[in-house]
Structure 1
Amino acid sequence: MPEAGLFSALGTTPTGLSSEDAQRRLAIHGPNALPAARPQSPIIRFLRQFHSALIYFLLAGGVAATLLGHLVDAAVILAVVLVNATVGFIQEGKAEQALNSIRDLIAPHALALRDGVRTQVGVRDLVPGDIVLLEAGDRVPADMRLVRARGLLVDEAALTGESVAAEKHEGTVVSDAPLGDRTNMTFSGTLVAAGQGTGVVVETGIGTEIGRISKLLQSVEELTTPLLRQIEHFARHFTAVVLVAAVLLFAFAVLVRGFAWDEALIFIVALAVGVIPEGLPAVITITLAIGVRRMAARNAVIRKLPAVETLGATSVICSDKTGTLTRNEMTAWQLILPAHRLLVGGAGYAPEGEIIAQGADDDAAALDAAMTMLRCGLLCNDAHLRESAGHWMVDGDPMEGALVALAMKAGLEPTEVRAEWPRIDEIPFDAAHRFMASLHRSPTGEMVVFVKGAPEALFAMAKPPIDLEYWNARIDEAAGEGERLLAFGALRKPAGLQRLSFEDVAEIELLGLIGFIDPPRPEAVDAIAQCRSAGIDVKMITGDHAATALAIGRQLGIADDPRAVTGAQIEDLSDGELADLVRDVSVFARTSPEHKLRIVRALQSDGAIVAMTGDGVNDAPSLKQADVGTAMGRKGTEAAKEAAQMVLLDDNFASIVNAVHEGRTVYDNIRKVTAWTIPTNGGEALIVILAIFAGFALPMTATQILWVNLILGATLGLALAFEPSEPGVMRRPPRKSNAPLLSPFLLWRVVLVSLLFAGMALGVFFLTLGQGRDIEVARTMVVNMVIVGEIFYLFNVRYLHVGSITWRGMLGTPVVLAAIAAVVAGQLAFTYLPVMNEIFGSRPLTLADGALIIGIGVALFFVLEMEKRLMRRLGWFEELTE
């Protein structure tokens, strides 16, 4: 659209709006600001922690225990529920701040033309039609169509993911150009890296590109994690089963066995409270919290507690390229001269690395031939490097910073060279002519013009003859490797020249080309290999060009034969077609925030558990949508961090692999807690149920059942939360997202262990009665047998995927040993202290009684170890755990 047409369409003029017109438009369009996220009431957030069928059941059990006078157990149940709620409330205490973080990207003031005069205008007061002036260092205040651009470079990495500042001009582009190709537009929240520009505001507030991301963020619903879904599913079914079983058992005891209704009710409630794994939510929360602490030690900070476990189920990691898989630091990669080619070592802006000639060429001769081009890159350059805390940073354009680093690798000292070759004049880079030229006085006094810019621009300026076939072939090779190219030239001028014009930059000597890449992080290559060995797919989603992204994907080893799909191609696909496509594609290029969001949703629709890494504002919606959104801590925007569940402190993709390792360990430990809790509770219940059905004396009283529940819940079950990783944790495929908490293996263990526990307990019960000893001694034997059996069973479940009969397995951990010591001390008090004998109806036992109980516990351990080994040998273990 010509400028006159643009001004007419927006009802403005080159001199800007009048103050009255601006006020009128402000009333129509509203302030140029994004809506703040509506905070949630702390009370509501705290009450939400109780919204679980299992918690409701626990509270009902606590009320029942209170009514029956079992105040200690009621207090324990209440404490567990409160701990669970408090930890969840604290971990999720930060309300969603992503929208507010995005708002902070918009600068407070802008320089606009009002009434024909340059005026400082509050950014909130900008309206469509305002004429805004931009300079280097400015934050773009609104989406603007450019009417003037002079050397204008805009850092749009937060929106597009591109590492290099985008060149801007006032020309026209096709109407459906991707965001990164809209070179005549500047977007709200981006940063002017160099040059000057003037633009007409076309969108403000929620209508800007950053506003669209804000709306996307609002539309994303937070997902329930796999573990929470499993717990809810388990709680609902378990609650229903226990309630029905309790009612039936109560009816049977009263109507068939003739129990008094109050006596039967006491036993049924005690039994139900014993069966309910009331410690499970708290132990799971503590297990997750321990995972948070371990991950923090490995540079991964968890913002939302359930994300720890979700990492263990991750089957796909979608990663942004720039700054996540790559360093986000441009690096000169190779030098191409007419007769030489050199490769450059090192990465980033650190001036470290060798420059080596390719093939049989002599290194010294090739480097000597390249010195004029290296000097050109250093002098026709406005960037500076500085070192801070051991890290090199660039002030200025990233590619110019890479040229300074390259010159230093070749032994040139920037300050000295620039002093020896003072700059007299320059032609700044502009998208219209696509080159920069600078005039220098050489140490010998002659004038030299150095030029750098787009290869095609310098080819047109080069003194003939040049071998275009040779140069174009080199360009095609470099493009295939994802390199960005700059061409360099030089021209000698008479000593008196003081001003540089376009006529002076003609028939230059073409010095050569330099190829740049944003290099992959070496640790990211290793991390991707680990992901693939763990059955986790890695997909790169970037705003960069397809050729560049695909080349980086190959260097990273992201797939055996990576394919690339662009955002434009995604636009033409339905959601169903996209879901079919995402399985086999590992590189998505030229993507917008909507594309990223669609890709994540397509993967989730196929049952994948998706972790999404990123650092830009453009990543925020997909980070929030992902099962585990992972933001970069150093270079990540606040919007990305607040939308994510996890933040990597070192911006290192490898840290997410460490986090997945810890996540799998956490889930293993949760399974161990469950595999220990449910079967042992089932064994305790089966003992009493068999007694009621068979009509013999109850092996445990209601008070003793509650004692077992009290002494074990806060000790042995909790100890499993601290277990270290099992061997081979990262060589297993991810678990299925719909895998139930009660897996076939766990159901089998519930049956087997319940029967074994019931057999042991009833065996010692009838053996003691058969010796003519009283019922109290027999019941004390049963309680001790249950406790000892659960201790030995604990050692069995410490390792679910390998055998437990190892030195490490038998020795235990300090936490396990401390828990056992606490249980033994409590049980000795239960058995031998007179006050405990009075409260619980227990009696002292002999040394022979203790030896018998321990011997049966050892036998239980070996039986279960043989069962574990047999199932693995027959191949049933893998089937039951799927």
Structure 2
Amino acid sequence: MALPDAHAQSVAGCLAALGSGPDGLSAAEAARRLGEHGPNRLAEVRGRGMAARFLVQFDNVLVYVLLGASVVTGAMGHWIDTGVILAVVLANAVIGFVQEGKAEAAMAAIRGLLAPRAAVLRDGRRVTVAGAHLVPGDIVLLEPGDRVPADLRVTVARGLFAQEAILTGESVPVEKSARAVAADALLGDRSCMLWSGTLVTQGTAHGVVVATGHATEVGRIGGLLAGVETLSTPLVAQMDHFARWLSFLILLASALLLAFGYFVGHHDFSEMFMAVVGVAVAAIPEGLPAVMTITLAIGVQAMARRNAIVRHLPAIEAIGSVSVICTDKTGTLTRNEMMVVAVETPEGSFEVAGEGYAPEGRVAPEGDLTRLARAAALCNDAAIGRKGGHWTVEGDPMEGALLAFAGKVAGRVEGARLDVVPFDSRHRFMAVLSEGPDGRLTHVKGAPERVLRMCSGIDAHDWHHRAEALARQGLRVLALAERSEPGARIEEATLEGSLTFLGLVGLIDPPRPEAVAAVSECRAAGIRVKMITGDHAGTAAAIARQIGLEHPDRVLTGAELDKLDDAELANLVTSVDVFARTSPEDKLRLVAALQARGLSVAMTGDGVNDAPALKRADAGIAMGRKGSEAAKEAADLVLADDNFATIAAAVREGRTVYDNLRKVISFELPTNAGEALTVVLALLAGLALPITAVQILWVNLITGITLGLALAFEPTEPGTMARAPRRRDAPILSGALVWHVVLVASLFLAAVFGIFAYAIDRGHSLALARTMAMNMLVVLEVFHLFFIRNIHGTSLTWTAVRGTPVVWAVVVAITAAQLAVTYLPPLQTILGTEAVPLRDGFLIVAIGAAFFALVEIEKQMRLGLNGRLGRSTPPVDQP
């Protein structure tokens, strides 16, 4: 029985269609309809239990590889290695379980918006019922401060205003009336409708329930949210795909190698099988998932220090990779506080500066605005005050802005109120009679076109043009006037043509100063900022100009978007930066259209209407202070300070984390390839293994995780915010990374076989030669760590050599461990090692330094070549 077109019907027609009347429903009919329609609440969505949410953390191919590696090491009797690998798997699962919230929490937050109690007419009498018991056709009675309990068609309105920012993004309360509107009117323009979850800020009303529960606008958004596909971040998706193929390749290559050694090389099967296991363990980057998770967890702490709270670990990588930020306007780019910024009086034009509702600021040029300020302060029902060091308003935000303006001009304004004519949509003005130092005065404020008709001695046509000019700047315009009042009451009939016009005031929800700088920084980083708001097109364009969007004057409205199919929208979306009067479906379509163009999208917002798009975006960012619970639960990141500038800081931290993740990948793959190729080449050539399977396990144990973990603590590289965002489809195995893997693996192969051959040639035992080869691997990996720390610049600087405390702590620990297994007899027995002569030890370190010099020279040649060609320089891990 919900009426989706109730806004286009007359009051009588709407009541008739719902089978109701001015006295509401009978108790019996209400009970019958409750049974038919169900309670006025959103359906509970059963989520996964805690055990299932924990087990799903193991559903990752690289985790399967880790578990497989633990089985192999267990079968070989290396229980320490098995315990370490299983501990890494468990830590990975625990971190993911703790960080990720329940997916159904957003729906629960929306359910909390429904009012718990409501005043209704039943059998012609006013009664209070549970909000869940409302049914279509009920007549609901509303007063200031009430939360609207269901979608209502207004039947009676007296000075009614409602705050709808959670649905439309509009900064100020909107006027409501019982008059029907056009059938194709957008949600924000349906002035005869009150939406579930919004607030009545002024006036009283009767409204007939036209939709309850999931049929309400809030319920519909909840349905959108439940149906939105949550996208994986680019790196997570690529790593999953890469891990599947890498695992398959390693297993296939190991099987072929086993067959070759047994059938062609005629090696003992047991000996050959253990060698192949060594190859598989060497090739599999078993430390990679753990180090990636730990890197993300470190990023969580870094972002928390920047007031960006991460709810899902992969979101850190996502925010660092975004190429477009789709931002809501109200409360995100703006302060969500109205402020008088422009004044037009018969004496001239004035600009007003200040912050929010603070009665402090500058008016330029100087002039006498005392009478205008007095009218603004006395014809007012709001109050402003300081709470927790911040100026706030009680009442209508526009009236709060007028009080702040009056404070800037005249300080404290006093006057005893004697009579008032409240604002009403029929006469569109408010009048107050006050007695003060200048006697009794009636002050009037209201819509310019109405107040101007009440004034005498002015050029009304000229003032209409001035009001329209302010409105075109995106300002809300009010007119103020006054007259002397001899009596004790206001006679409305005598106001016409008797007022003295004082001036016009233009109000706006101003942009945050820090948002302007943040938008500029994002643009410098190659990130497009797009405003998607439910507010009017003029207001959106004005804010877009002030914050510095690229194309502020080209605005598309929700009505225009509805006329575009998905292909047309995808072609247009990159050239438009301001979208106004949008619905939740519009925001979803815009995010999806940008993603269809291969762009990584961040969506910011604070309202319920933003929740579906926040969930769909690659990185959903909600406001922590003023944001709705639905928005917070749907988002990946929550800004604790509601500051758009924090987004730029989060992008910088995200890029740093992403760089460090790529460094880990660029470190792990070449070193593992080098280890595996060393064994493979020896087996294929029928040579003695230069390093045994147990020694490879030892090297992986002390370097695979520790050295990679050191990269997780790397600081932000210079120029991080000057680089363009990575492409969404940029592959992990870029051409530069493949070349780096081939180069480093070849150098590893040459160095390990070279030192092994050198040792055999000098008459050293096979055990000593293998010990030297094992130490050669470790030294090469340490030097490779210092090279890979600076993928975007040179490693030959004092800062690069100095490193970080974590890097040197890891290097010292690994050096101590290698000296222990090389020179301590108990460990020599376990790993089959012998003491390395001091001269040979220096030779191993010298070869490591030569390796570092070779890869650094190659990088400098690449830097110079790209510089001469005028291209940005790709690091070893970038296309």
Question: So what's the TM-score if we normalise by structure 1?
Answer: 0.97
How far apart are 1:2 and its partner, in Å? 3.4
CA deviation digits over 1:819-871, x for unaligned, max 9?
00110110011100000111111001121111111111111111111010011
Residues matched between the structures, number: 865
How far apart are 1:95 and its partner, in Å? 3.9
Quick one: which amino acid aligns to residue 806 of structure 2?
A: V
Give, in whole Å, the separation in 1 of the partners of 2:817 and 2:553.
61
How far apart are 1:713 and its partner, in Å? 2.0
**1:839 aligned to which of 800, 806, 830:** 830
Structure 1 counterpart of 2:383:
384
Whether 2:423 is the aligned partner of 1:429: answer: yes
Counterparts of 1:593-672 in structure 2, within 5 Å, are 593-672=584-663
Paired residues of 1:491 and 1:505 also in contact (CA < 8 A): no
Give, in whole Å, the separation in 2 of the partners of 1:756 and 1:519.
60
Counterparts of 1:120-159 in structure 2, within 5 Å, are 120-159=128-167
How far apart are 1:90 and its partner, in Å? 1.3
Quick one: which amino acid aligns to residue 465 of structure 2?
A: A
**1:776 aligned to which of 718, 743, 767:** 767
Counterparts of 1:108-257 in structure 2, within 5 Å, are 108-257=116-265
Paired residues of 1:80 and 1:278 also in contact (CA < 8 A): no
Paired residues of 2:455 and 2:496 also in contact (CA < 8 A): no
Residues 490 and 499 (structure 1), Cα distance of their counterparts in 2 relative to 1, 3 Å cut: closer
Paired residues of 1:439 and 1:500 also in contact (CA < 8 A): no
Quick one: which amino acid aligns to residue 217 of structure 1?
A: L
**SS of the residue aligned with 1:385?**
strand
Whether 2:454 is the aligned partner of 1:458: answer: no
Structure 1 counterpart of 2:536:
545
How far apart are 1:236 and its partner, in Å? 1.1
Paired residues of 1:65 and 1:270 also in contact (CA < 8 A): no
Paired residues of 2:318 and 2:618 also in contact (CA < 8 A): yes
Structure 1 counterpart of 2:749:
758
Paired residues of 1:213 and 1:593 also in contact (CA < 8 A): yes
Structure 2 counterpart of 1:398:
397
Paired residues of 2:231 and 2:618 also in contact (CA < 8 A): yes
Paired residues of 2:792 and 2:874 also in contact (CA < 8 A): no
How far apart are 1:33 and its partner, in Å? 0.6
**1:714 aligned to which of 692, 705, 708:** 705
Whether 2:549 is the aligned partner of 1:558: answer: yes
**SS of the residue aligned with 1:514?**
strand
**SS of the residue aligned with 1:164?**
coil
Structure 1 counterpart of 2:96:
88
Give, in whole Å, the separation in 2 of the partners of 1:217 and 1:481.
35
Give, in whole Å, the separation in 2 of the partners of 1:280 and 1:492.
81
Quick one: which amino acid aligns to residue 845 of structure 1?
A: V
Quick one: which amino acid aligns to residue 459 of structure 1?
A: L
- Greater than 4 Å deviation, 4+ residue runs: none
Whether 2:24 is the aligned partner of 1:16: answer: yes
**SS of the residue aligned with 1:323?**
coil
Give, in whole Å, the separation in 2 of the partners of 1:806 and 1:476.
61
Give, in whole Å, the separation in 2 of the partners of 1:711 and 1:637.
47
How far apart are 1:504 and its partner, in Å? 4.0
Whether 2:326 is the aligned partner of 1:318: answer: yes
Structure 2 counterpart of 1:491:
483
How far apart are 1:562 and its partner, in Å? 4.0
Quick one: which amino acid aligns to residue 157 of structure 1?
A: A
Give, in whole Å, the separation in 2 of the partners of 1:502 and 1:694.
109
**SS of the residue aligned with 1:623?**
helix
Residues 442 and 701 (structure 1), Cα distance of their counterparts in 2 relative to 1, 3 Å cut: closer
Paired residues of 2:454 and 2:495 also in contact (CA < 8 A): no
Structure 1 counterpart of 2:432:
438
Structure 2 counterpart of 1:47:
55
**1:469 aligned to which of 461, 475, 486:** 461
Give, in whole Å, the separation in 2 of the partners of 1:324 and 1:41.
35
Paired residues of 1:97 and 1:642 also in contact (CA < 8 A): yes
CA deviation digits over 1:376-404, x for unaligned, max 9?
01000011011012100000100100011
**SS of the residue aligned with 1:150?**
strand
Paired residues of 2:442 and 2:490 also in contact (CA < 8 A): no
**SS of the residue aligned with 1:49?**
helix
User: What percent identity do the matched residue pairs reach?
Assistant: 54
**SS of the residue aligned with 2:411?**
coil
CA deviation digits over 1:528-552, x for unaligned, max 9?
1111111111000001110110111
Quick one: which amino acid aligns to residue 410 of structure 1?
A: V
Paired residues of 2:541 and 2:552 also in contact (CA < 8 A): no
Give, in whole Å, the separation in 2 of the partners of 1:432 and 1:476.
21
Give, in whole Å, the separation in 1 of the partners of 2:277 and 2:735.
28
CA deviation digits over 1:606-639, x for unaligned, max 9?
1111100000011111111111110000100101
Structure 2 counterpart of 1:529:
520
**SS of the residue aligned with 1:278?**
coil
How far apart are 1:54 and its partner, in Å? 2.1
Quick one: which amino acid aligns to residue 150 of structure 2?
A: A
Give, in whole Å, the separation in 1 of the partners of 2:228 and 2:329.
23
How far apart are 1:498 and its partner, in Å? 2.8
Paired residues of 1:61 and 1:269 also in contact (CA < 8 A): no
Give, in whole Å, the separation in 1 of the partners of 2:440 and 2:177.
31
**SS of the residue aligned with 1:325?**
coil
Give, in whole Å, the separation in 1 of the partners of 2:437 and 2:77.
99
How far apart are 1:741 and its partner, in Å? 1.8
**1:878 aligned to which of 871, 874, 878:** 874
Structure 2 counterpart of 1:855:
846
CA deviation digits over 1:655-683, x for unaligned, max 9?
11111111111111011111111101111
Paired residues of 2:282 and 2:676 also in contact (CA < 8 A): yes
How far apart are 1:499 and its partner, in Å? 4.8
Structure 1 counterpart of 2:3:
none
Whether 2:284 is the aligned partner of 1:276: answer: yes
**SS of the residue aligned with 1:878?**
coil
Structure 2 counterpart of 1:360:
none
Paired residues of 1:29 and 1:127 also in contact (CA < 8 A): yes
How far apart are 1:739 and its partner, in Å? 1.4
Give, in whole Å, the separation in 2 of the partners of 1:93 and 1:372.
56
Q: Which runs of 5 or more residues in structure 1 are unaligned?
A: 358-362
Paired residues of 1:317 and 1:612 also in contact (CA < 8 A): yes
Give, in whole Å, the separation in 2 of the partners of 1:208 and 1:522.
37
Give, in whole Å, the separation in 2 of the partners of 1:51 and 1:7.
55
How far apart are 1:82 and its partner, in Å? 1.6
Quick one: which amino acid aligns to residue 598 of structure 1?
A: R
Give, in whole Å, the separation in 2 of the partners of 1:499 and 1:803.
80
**SS of the residue aligned with 2:582?**
coil
Quick one: which amino acid aligns to residue 680 of structure 2?
A: I
Whether 2:816 is the aligned partner of 1:820: answer: no
Give, in whole Å, the separation in 1 of the partners of 2:42 and 2:245.
44
Paired residues of 2:678 and 2:690 also in contact (CA < 8 A): yes
Give, in whole Å, the separation in 1 of the partners of 2:815 and 2:713.
20
How far apart are 1:38 and its partner, in Å? 1.9
Residues 561 and 148 (structure 1), Cα distance of their counterparts in 2 relative to 1, 3 Å cut: closer
Give, in whole Å, the separation in 1 of the partners of 2:295 and 2:403.
50
Paired residues of 1:441 and 1:448 also in contact (CA < 8 A): yes
Paired residues of 2:570 and 2:596 also in contact (CA < 8 A): yes
Paired residues of 2:551 and 2:576 also in contact (CA < 8 A): no
Paired residues of 2:674 and 2:749 also in contact (CA < 8 A): yes
How far apart are 1:560 and its partner, in Å? 4.8
Whether 2:78 is the aligned partner of 1:70: answer: yes
Instruction: Tell me which moved more, 478-487 or 46-55.
Output: 46-55
